[in-house]
Amino acid sequence: MDPSNNIEDAILDHSHPPPKYHVHNGVKYIKSTRGHPLLLHKSYRYTFASVSHSKGTSRWICTSHFQHNCKAKIWLNTKQNIVEGPTILEHTHSPPKHLSDTGEFTPIKL
Ligand SMILES: [Zn+2]
């Protein structure tokens, strides 16, 4: 199973009212303004880092990884469940303010 398939399924269609994201276990797949796949979890955004085909897991790191030296990262298994062992959900910064009152994703430059 290729995780990117799920990302493609999450292309936003603004002709529909929210909720319009693919949500699973609190994880939302979104796309940046440049079309990069992003993960949204508890208002924090994660960018795709790597995939392990042998284990079927994908690794996503906080988009503030470099800017804030943030070590937060999320591992997902083939069922898109968060793998708790290697996953780190503690951030060194506040979540970026990119959600409107309606919870709609407002793209910001990466
Ligand atoms: Zn972070």
pLDDT tens for each residue of 36-92: 888 989 889 999 999 988 988 999 999 999 989 999 999 999 888 899 899 999 999
Which DSSP string corresponds to 24-78?
Answer: ETTEEEEE-TT--EEEEETTEEEEEEEEETTTTEEEEEETTTTTS----EEEE-T
Ligand 1 centroid–CA 32 distance in Å is 17
Query: Rounded to an integer, what distance in angstroms lies between the CA atom of residue 38 and that of residue 40?
Result: 7
Please tell me the predicted confidence (pLDDT) of residue 101: 44
Ligand 1 centroid–CA 59 distance in Å is 14
Please list the residues that pair with 40 across neighbouring strands.
28, 45
With a cut of 90, say whether residue 7 has pLDDT above it. no
Token pair belonging to 85: 């062992």
Region 83-108 average pLDDT: 73
Please tell me the predicted confidence (pLDDT) of residue 92: 95
Ligand 1 centroid–CA 87 distance in Å is 12
Ligand 1 centroid–CA 62 distance in Å is 5
